[in-house]
Structure 1
Amino acid sequence: MLSAVEQMSVSPVFVGRGSELAALDSALRRVGNGQPQALLIGGDAGVGKTRLLEEFLCKADAEGTVAMLGHCLEVGAEGLPYAPLATALRRLHRARRSELACAADGLEGHLARVLPEFGETDQEPNDEYSRARLFENLARLFERLSADRPLVLAIEDLHWSDRSTRELLGYLISTLHRARVLIIATYRTDDLHRRHPLRPFLAELERQRTVHRLELDRFGRPEVAAQLAGILGTDTPDPQLVDRILRRSEGNPFFVEELAASCTDGCYAGLSDSLRDILLVRVEALPEETQRVVRIAAEGGSRVEHELLAAVLDDSEDELLDALRTAVGANVLQPDKDGEGYRFRHALAREAVSDDLLPGERTRINRRYAAALEADPTLVRGDERPARLANYWYHAHAPARALPTALDAARAARRRNAFAEQLSLLERAIELWDEVDAEVLATTLRPHDWAETYPPCCCDPGACDPACERLRLVDVLAEALVAARRSGDRERGLSLAKRALKLTDEAENPLRAAWFRMNRARMLGHLNRNGTTEELGHALRLVEGRPPSAVQADVFALAAGQAMLYTPTGDDLARAERAVAIARQVGATGVELHARMTLGSLYAEFGEPERGIAELRAAVEAARGMPVPDLLTRGLNNLASMLANEGRLAEAVTLAREGLAVAGDLGMLRNTGAILAGNLAESLLLLGRVEEAAEVLAGWESDLRTEAFDPFLNRLRGELALRRGDLAAARELLRVCQATTDRRDQPQHLIPTAKLAVDLAGRGGQPLLAREALFAVLDGEIGRRDFRLLPLLARGAAVEADSRGLPAADRERPAVLARIAERLAAQRPVAPLHEGWALLAEAELARAGARDTPAHWAAAVERLRSTGLPYPLVLALHGAGGAAAATGEREAAAELLREAAELAERLGDRWLRGELDRLLHRLGANRGAPEGARAEPSEPEGPAAFHLTPRETDVLRLLTEGRTNRQIAEELFISPKTASVHVSNILAKLEVSGRGEAAALAHRLRLFPPSAPARAAVVGA
């Protein structure tokens, strides 16, 4: 695609930049080997970024690489989204139409939002997830384009980029893990002031290992001499000329060319050292008529179409062509490679010409551009027209025209899912609002003409004020609020809602006020701030007792949905039912389906799981026919989660996989893919399909789309590490997980994280840490009846049972067991899995109090066996085997423990498998022996089984009593150093990592049984 490469340099010789070009070549080679790369090329204006990119793209194109080049436009920061992507794709469309069409097959409706040449846009709404779907489908397009050979996407002038372009670029860099794509972006370093939006963006990108940054330095004397030699056509330029130009240009290659051109024209003196004067010398040497054309072209934008320029100038065609030919011949203007217009040879030259305009002159020129474009909208491309017209009227200082065109441009930006640019344009409209006469507003702006996301009238049905037919500032604030929420700028959204509420009389417009309160609640929740409950409560009071409306149904549904995630009550269940009924009555289908999904989850919470599953299934089926993708993915995710919680894990796996496929097809992986992957991995882990679960988690290991669900995925990775016996890795993952979790988090995340902490502490011989994790939940605001507590209570009781005899843990144990028993008694399990967990918790409580019998464990085993799930059945079998051994039923114990060992193997739990092997060994039973077989112990039991010497046995006994090395030394009349050596030997022989774990193992295996008869110890998993 050589046509895509802009030939913008005067010098025929490419000077210097050898190391930078080598870096680009190296990056392209890595891309060819399947390692996507991104290079950020920075430097001062005129330092040679474009020339370097030009040389590289020419070389890459000659080698068969697909090259795409796009430019950011200065208008982009004010509402022209995705401009460089649109330019790059348009050029690719012209050069490789069939190849692009093949890659875009099935994605055309989404991609048309960036490039209209793809046809009609899809009919999906512009909702919170539409931008994510667009990004996902663009990433898929680049993956297809780079399937057979490397692809280079180059974007120039990133310092002018709009926010949507930056976010898309960041998304592509962070998610194209396997595509052979090289992304290159250039930007001016001297334009990056402290508050420039590109600065934090670059800093964030540099955190990724595939991103590299190149900074171009200015030329030294050898490079300037070589550049001048090429420009002047001589082997040895005059040394004095080299020195003079080096001094004045300060090594900037563009200034070198400008100064060389001046010298060639005989202008050796009189040049000012100021940048603007250097840049204007070439323009001021042009004929007056050509200068006029150049000045008007400068206000047209980074690129100006020939037909538009002709309409603005209103000159004869011959006169215009003569002036343009002169400007092009002087290398001030250059024909745009798209063949439609002109651009300045360098952006610095355009800026200098524009800055040299008089204030009134600039206003007049912009007014002429706006008038010409309004008279003939075909003068520019349709996708650019709204933003450019709004920009011209704004700089023409014509508020009455700038305001409606800003609203039109905002609507166009919304259609392209460019919500940040939509917000910017709406804020411009808000800024202009007071400058426009009220009569003009009343006659030219109507809410139904442009507002799609916010109901223009929130009055009670049947009581609409005629004033609602006139667009008001509060309507624009509402649309801006939605744009802020969708663009992720929730702080701005909160301030917009606050301003709108000041303009809204709650007594006259309660539904409008409720709508703003509801949106404030949503944004506060996303920001994890206090105030969500208060805002929702206020909204509920405003809609209560009013006639049915979509706003009322939405408020009820949101309130019920928020409660569902924490501690729902019967009132919340009733509220969800009302939301469904009202939404159905007023025809708000999307609100109805969201409310039905919430209602299904609440039915399960309140003891009717089958009814809840049926409700959710029906809502999912209805969502399949709706053009609202987040409805279907939410339904599939919630249904998979509910089935997993009920123990129907095979069904949950199928639904989670379907959800991931749907999310991928709809471009929703950025939003819901991570939580669907987490639910899938969790179900696979519980089923014992460990390698599949590990593969799912590994697929999201380096993905940056998962920020909101990092604690969830890290907790699952911690459980996987725990299974594999890597306690250090599990502790680190738990630490990272807990760093982003607090006591206000949702129970569905908080409780499993606490269970992982309890399991880790128990296996590490740290019962006090296990208690701390348990109490952090029990002391919180978790509902007294929450089936998710059952596994946590069971594991907390197991750690208490395992640590019996440890002095530090024994003191508070009665109170701890009472807390667990009291919380367990409050549960009302209805599903077989929940009943099994409750019976297991009761058995562990009995063991912790030294009063368990085989009957306790048999009840748990029977109930859990009916679920067909290896976990927690393995825990019940483990306990049952220990109980049978304690009563002397060695053969029954061996059979139970062998079954448990097989399940532990299936679950991939190496630590538990080792514990079971030790118990089998103490029974004298080979884990692989036939059923009923028995073997006599071949080695001694107790401490001798671990080959501990008598002295090490004495040390271990004192260690289990919590003694320090100094106390052990005093007791045994040895030195503390000798005691330390014995402790180290003991840890090695027991194959444990610390004193606490050694003590816990000794207690679990009853290596030092008390003098009174007691049952054999049972290890907890």
Structure 2
Amino acid sequence: MQTTSPLLIGRENDLDSLRTAVRESRTGSTRTVVVSGEAGIGKTRLVAEFLDHVPSDSIVLRGQCIDLDRDAPPYAPIVAPLRALVAELGEAAILEATGSAASLSRHALAILLPELGETDVPESQRRGGPDRLYDAVATVLENVARTRPLVLVIEDLHWADQATLGLLRFLLRVVEESRILFVLTFRSDELGRGHPLRAWLPELDRNRRVSRLELPRLNRRQVRQLSTALLGTPLDAYDLGVVFQRTDGVPFFIEEILGCDFETVESFPDTLRDILLARYETLSEPTQRILRLIAAGGARVEHELLADVSDATPDAIDDAAREAVTARVLVVDDTAYSFRHALVREAIHDELLPGERMRFHTCYAQALEDRQGAPSVDSTAISYHWMAAHNVRAAFTASLTAMAQARASFANSTAARMGERAIELWEQVPDAEALADRTRVELLAETSYILRNAGESERAIALIDEAIGASSPSDADIYAKLLRDKASFLANIGHTGSIELLREALTVLEGRPRSVLRANVLGELAARLMLEALFDEAVATADSAYAEAEEVGSRPRMSVAANIRGISRLSLGEIDSGLADLALAGELAEGNESARLRYWVNESDAMSLLGRFEEAIRIAEAGAERARQRGVERTSGAMLMLNVIQPLFSLGESRRANEMLDRALELDPPIGFSAHLQRMKLQATVWSGDAALAEKLLRGWRAPLSLQLRIDAQSRLGLGAVAGEIALARGNVAEAWREVSVILAPEHRTFPAHDLPVLAIAARVLGCARASGVDLRAGDGSGAGTGTGAEGGLDEIERRLREALALVSGWPTAGAYVALFEAELGGPDRAGSDCALWAAAVQATVAPIAPAHLEPYARYRHAEALASAGDRSGARLRANEARVAAERIDMGLIVDRVDDLERRVGLVRIAGGRDSGGGATATAPDEIALPAVRSVEDDLTERERQVLTLIAQGLSNRQIAEQLFISAKTASVHVSNILRKTNTSSRTEAAYLARSFEAVRVVESRP
């Protein structure tokens, strides 16, 4: 009988999907197919069948994730395909494919492929993060694919280390228009709670270039087909039922159960373990021993390594391997042996006796240590084998080596796990400090720092707390560093306490000689004070940091201190001195990349806040390019990209800004950097006119965005402003006030450039509340509702808003915001009806230093005020100006409002005679013939059709008058005319008839 079915049964559609994906990828449109399903379901068989028919000009690369109990060497499933690519094309071709930044890319690639040389990776890149490495891999794949199409298969992602997942996430986001097909497989039944792959799957589902294939179990008919293909004849109904019941329709189990020589179906194995071991148990004892030895080595073991760890002769190894291959337990994979299925390897590994387990794993650990330094050897595997062999001392030293290796390759999760393992073993190793060449406190601090870089800040804080508890303030330098690190970790997750920890660190260093450490702590304290809008304290602290750094000759720390002092002085209104400090920071930063990037971030931000948008773009673009070259595109680079995006929007270059914003978000920056980009995305979305999407995004992002609110005044104000705009766009005035009332919160401190937009929106909310009668006093948390009666409360709110405005009205860009504020609250109703104030606001918003989105809004509100005053020709003119201004910058929000205004005022003909916000249903009464309905509708004037639409929405005469900017008496006349012309006796009948009109239009529009 066949041991493997010659036919692919039950997977025909899945195979077609893969073939379609490869065809599409070959046209230059990157595709990814993710194949999932439980163990034994046929993922590997499906992929193998697909690869057998890939066009011959394609390069097929395969990588396999390794099951070593969470100790998989980082990037292992990526390294193997890259080595295969080097073997296919040659080292010279790969180095040529690194592109224009060949030297930097070669450094990065050497992290994964040391055989390329250039293994001495610069310290700046090690600090910078994995971006350079990721970019180098993407560049090589893209450039190779220009010559020959690529198919990259990565199997068993459920075992992937975090570094591998991070690199794959990057590749699937940024590689868009290349002749590359990625095929990824994973076991869906292995994804327990907290598995990192679970968090990635929703992102994959949102990617339009990714398709998912979930392989189901075979049904009874398909089991019959598979058994017939294996046996050559069909099973009878009873035997088929036994096979179906024992295997649950899992193809691998069916092949295993039918591939063994059992006399009757009743003797088929009952348990999964018995099925998996059925073939193994038919083999000779020497072969079984070799298989147990291979199982201890992992899913794939090189023949040369097997020869080193085995005490059998070469001939005996060959004989055992041949028997296992013939029995379909092992498969030969180039120079290595792999189990036919990982489930078999797991079952055989469980057969190891305690003595065998220790001996076999010891042999592997020793053999790998002897090869240490070879490109294919990773100390993570050595640590795993020593742990499995219960050799604590050897596992300790191997874990420390593995930690260093993983950290050098930016595999922070693996490095942290190895560091934590060494910490756990510390007490069991008598000479641990000598072996580690560091104290336990130093190892705790180092591991906590790596955990922070791995995104596990909560765990990092737990370890740093342990280090602080094991330390003493008498060891001032170490203790102060620990406090400084904890302050940084807390800030990363939006927790308060950083300022207090930094002050405690300064107390510990009190009386000590001047030092770079003290300058560093002072500088970071100044930065935290600045972010909290404590500008006076920030300036004084930055002064001290500058003096300390100058005394010890640290120009980088002098630069940082001048930088923070400059931004703080700027925010205090000391524009000239603030700009002078920023210029000084730039000079002092020369030669130090970290200080230079920090300068670029704050200098470009300052220019944008001052309304010098083109200068801001020039500075930020230079910084963003340097950040990309240095490999910190996801951190400092993300901030610099934001500092390009914001002034682009301010100049009205919305299309370019949106494209760049989407690219920046695709980099998936850490929350401290992504929060600003997400707020900008929310703002851009609501400006575009899609308030529903903006609201949806806000719901999804609210939790991570809120992390920044406790430690960053800019984030509090920024979120309040955009969330308030979204609520207003959705018509929820009370919710809008809850968002923008942050400006009146007791803890708020003046931050001029960021206060002004919030104040303008708050005035708009207040005007809307007055016009609609909404009470803003309840639940806003501002303490503003102290007046008696609703209007008394609103007056008190206005008084406090004006007080806040007075504090920031001297800011260079205040003119436009002050004019908008006054216009929002102008007119007899103090709700924005004064035409002259809106005309002034228009003039203020066309100033070069005013953000571009303010002008269309001001023009629209001016038109609305003119319409309310009865100046229809003026309203028509201003509405058209608002439309032109809005369309020029793709501001759909204002275009839609102008459309609505024109409909309500009757400035243009309404297509179909219905307001876009109407809720009428399209159900025509059966007794009214279509021509008759159309005849009745044709008797109505355009204005009467508008009124009829509003009647159908349930509006009263007064509400109709407000909507159409006419008097209530005129509305009443229109209603009477409608009832007479339509021969209806009530508003209810008229509303019913309006729905009939809509139904007629629906029917007539059908093909």
Question: Counterpart of 2:572?
Answer: 606
Cα distance between partner residues in 1 of 2:203 and 2:855: 46
CA distance change for structure 1 residues 878 and 181 in 2, over 3 Å: closer, same or farther?
Answer: closer
Structure 1 residues not aligned, in runs of 5+: 1-8, 447-470, 926-943, 987-1021
Question: Counterpart of 2:612?
Answer: 648
Question: Counterpart of 1:355?
Answer: 350
Question: Counterpart of 2:920?
Answer: none
CA distance change for structure 1 residues 256 and 151 in 2, over 3 Å: closer, same or farther?
Answer: same
Deviations 1:267-318 (A, max 9, x none): 9997754444554454455555444433333322322233333333355545
Could you tell me which amino acid in structure 2 is paired with residue 824 of structure 1?
Answer: L
Could you tell me which amino acid in structure 1 is paired with residue 621 of structure 2?
Answer: R
Cα distance between partner residues in 1 of 2:991 and 2:792: 25
1:395-414 maps to which residues of 2 (within 5 A)?
Answer: 395-414=388-407
Q: Secondary structure at the match of 2:33?
A: strand
1:682 aligns with 2:680: no
Question: Counterpart of 2:424?
Answer: 431
1:164 aligns with 2:163: yes
Contact 2:838 2:858 in 1 (8 A): no
Aligned residues: percent identity? 31
Cα distance between partner residues in 1 of 2:896 and 2:215: 59
Cα distance between partner residues in 2 of 1:948 and 1:249: 69
Q: Secondary structure at the match of 1:788?
A: helix
Cα distance between partner residues in 1 of 2:731 and 2:349: 74
Deviations 1:77-109 (A, max 9, x none): 215111111111111221233654443332222
Could you tell me which amino acid in structure 1 is paired with residue 517 of structure 2?
Answer: V
CA distance change for structure 1 residues 527 and 791 in 2, over 3 Å: closer, same or farther?
Answer: closer
Deviation of residue 560 (structure 1)?
A: 1.6
Cα distance between partner residues in 2 of 1:896 and 1:883: 10
Q: Secondary structure at the match of 2:488?
A: helix
Question: Counterpart of 1:21?
Answer: 15
Deviation of residue 719 (structure 1)?
A: 4.7
Could you tell me which amino acid in structure 1 is paired with residue 309 of structure 2?
Answer: V
Deviation of residue 149 (structure 1)?
A: 6.0
Deviation of residue 480 (structure 1)?
A: 1.2
Cα distance between partner residues in 2 of 1:550 and 1:284: 67
Q: Secondary structure at the match of 1:38?
A: strand
Q: Secondary structure at the match of 2:183?
A: strand
Question: Counterpart of 1:386?
Answer: 379
CA distance change for structure 1 residues 587 and 396 in 2, over 3 Å: closer, same or farther?
Answer: farther
CA distance change for structure 1 residues 880 and 357 in 2, over 3 Å: closer, same or farther?
Answer: closer
Question: Counterpart of 2:77?
Answer: 84
Question: Counterpart of 1:990?
Answer: none
Question: Counterpart of 1:474?
Answer: 441
Cα distance between partner residues in 2 of 1:625 and 1:229: 73
Question: Counterpart of 2:940?
Answer: none
Contact 1:146 1:181 in 2 (8 A): yes
Contact 1:157 1:188 in 2 (8 A): yes
Which range moves more in the overlay, 189-198 or 554-563?
Answer: 189-198
Cα distance between partner residues in 2 of 1:42 and 1:915: 47
Question: Counterpart of 2:745?
Answer: 779
Cα distance between partner residues in 1 of 2:838 and 2:872: 18
Deviation of residue 860 (structure 1)?
A: 11
Could you tell me which amino acid in structure 2 is paired with residue 362 of structure 1?
Answer: R
CA distance change for structure 1 residues 50 and 589 in 2, over 3 Å: closer, same or farther?
Answer: farther
Deviations 1:185-206 (A, max 9, x none): 2233454556655555546644
Question: Counterpart of 2:513?
Answer: 547
Question: Counterpart of 2:302?
Answer: 305
User: CA RMSD, aligned part only?
Assistant: 5.3
Cα distance between partner residues in 1 of 2:152 and 2:493: 34
Deviations 1:128-167 (A, max 9, x none): 7512443344344444444466532211222322222233
1:451-470 maps to which residues of 2 (within 5 A)?
Answer: none
Could you tell me which amino acid in structure 1 is paired with residue 16 of structure 2?
Answer: A
Deviation of residue 405 (structure 1)?
A: 1.2
Cα distance between partner residues in 2 of 1:985 and 1:573: 70
Could you tell me which amino acid in structure 1 is paired with residue 759 of structure 2?
Answer: L
Which range moves more in the overlay, 674-683 or 476-485?
Answer: 674-683
Contact 1:714 1:736 in 2 (8 A): no
Cα distance between partner residues in 1 of 2:310 and 2:628: 51
Deviations 1:355-409 (A, max 9, x none): 222102211222233333434536xx43533222222222221112211111001
Q: Secondary structure at the match of 1:548?
A: coil
Could you tell me which amino acid in structure 2 is paired with residue 570 of structure 1?
Answer: D
Question: Counterpart of 1:111?
Answer: 109
Contact 2:35 2:213 in 1 (8 A): yes
Contact 1:861 1:877 in 2 (8 A): no
CA distance change for structure 1 residues 973 and 44 in 2, over 3 Å: closer, same or farther?
Answer: closer
Cα distance between partner residues in 2 of 1:893 and 1:256: 77
Which range moves more in the overlay, 841-850 or 619-628?
Answer: 841-850
Q: Secondary structure at the match of 1:520?
A: helix
Deviation of residue 412 (structure 1)?
A: 0.6
Question: Counterpart of 2:922?
Answer: none
Contact 2:845 2:854 in 1 (8 A): no
Which range moves more in the overlay, 889-898 or 783-792?
Answer: 889-898
Choose from 540, 563, 566 the match for 2:529. Answer: 563
Contact 2:60 2:152 in 1 (8 A): yes
Which range moves more in the overlay, 488-497 or 247-256?
Answer: 247-256
Q: Secondary structure at the match of 2:111?
A: coil
1:822 aligns with 2:786: no
Contact 2:368 2:377 in 1 (8 A): no
Cα distance between partner residues in 1 of 2:963 and 2:752: 36
1:483 aligns with 2:450: yes
Choose from 453, 456, 465 the match for 1:498. Answer: 465
Cα distance between partner residues in 1 of 2:136 and 2:202: 26
Number of equivalences: 918
Scaled by the length of structure 2, the TM-score of the pair is: 0.76
Deviations 1:832-870 (A, max 9, x none): x24665577578778689899989998996898475876
Cα distance between partner residues in 1 of 2:718 and 2:845: 22
1:464-863 maps to which residues of 2 (within 5 A)?
Answer: 471-506=438-473, 508-583=474-549, 593-617=559-583, 619=585, 625-626=591-592, 628=594, 632-672=596-636, 674-697=638-661, 699=663, 712-713=676-677, 715-717=679-681, 719-720=683-684, 744=710, 746-756=712-722, 772-784=738-750, 786-794=752-760, 796-797=762-763, 810-827=791-808, 829=810, 831=812, 833-834=813-814, 837=817
Deviation of residue 643 (structure 1)?
A: 0.3
Cα distance between partner residues in 1 of 2:618 and 2:115: 38
Could you tell me which amino acid in structure 2 is paired with residue 597 of structure 1?
Answer: N
Cα distance between partner residues in 2 of 1:115 and 1:101: 12
Choose from 424, 432, 435 the match for 1:444. Answer: 435
Contact 2:128 2:630 in 1 (8 A): no
Deviation of residue 72 (structure 1)?
A: 1.0
CA distance change for structure 1 residues 978 and 155 in 2, over 3 Å: closer, same or farther?
Answer: same
Cα distance between partner residues in 2 of 1:948 and 1:13: 73
Which range moves more in the overlay, 589-598 or 733-742?
Answer: 733-742
Q: Secondary structure at the match of 2:152?
A: strand
Question: Counterpart of 1:1004?
Answer: none
CA distance change for structure 1 residues 290 and 583 in 2, over 3 Å: closer, same or farther?
Answer: farther
Cα distance between partner residues in 1 of 2:860 and 2:321: 89
Deviations 1:782-826 (A, max 9, x none): 213534223433454566678878776854453233212322333
Contact 1:550 1:582 in 2 (8 A): yes
Could you tell me which amino acid in structure 2 is paired with residue 371 of structure 1?
Answer: Q
Cα distance between partner residues in 2 of 1:982 and 1:908: 39
Contact 1:139 1:176 in 2 (8 A): yes
Cα distance between partner residues in 2 of 1:703 and 1:576: 32
Could you tell me which amino acid in structure 2 is paired with residue 263 of structure 1?
Answer: D
Q: Secondary structure at the match of 1:826?
A: helix
Cα distance between partner residues in 2 of 1:896 and 1:224: 73
1:48-447 maps to which residues of 2 (within 5 A)?
Answer: 48-62=42-56, 64-75=57-68, 77-97=70-90, 100-105=94-99, 106=102, 107-121=105-119, 122-125=121-124, 129-147=128-146, 150-192=149-191, 198-202=197-201, 205-206=204-205, 208=207, 210-219=209-218, 251-259=249-257, 262-263=260-261, 273-280=270-277, 282-314=279-311, 316-337=313-334, 339=335, 341-377=336-372, 381-437=374-430, 440-446=431-437
Contact 1:13 1:227 in 2 (8 A): no
1:955 aligns with 2:958: yes
Structure 2 residues not aligned, in runs of 5+: 775-789, 908-942, 980-984, 995-1007
Could you tell me which amino acid in structure 2 is paired with residue 166 of structure 1?
Answer: L
Choose from 25, 29, 33 the match for 1:39. Answer: 33
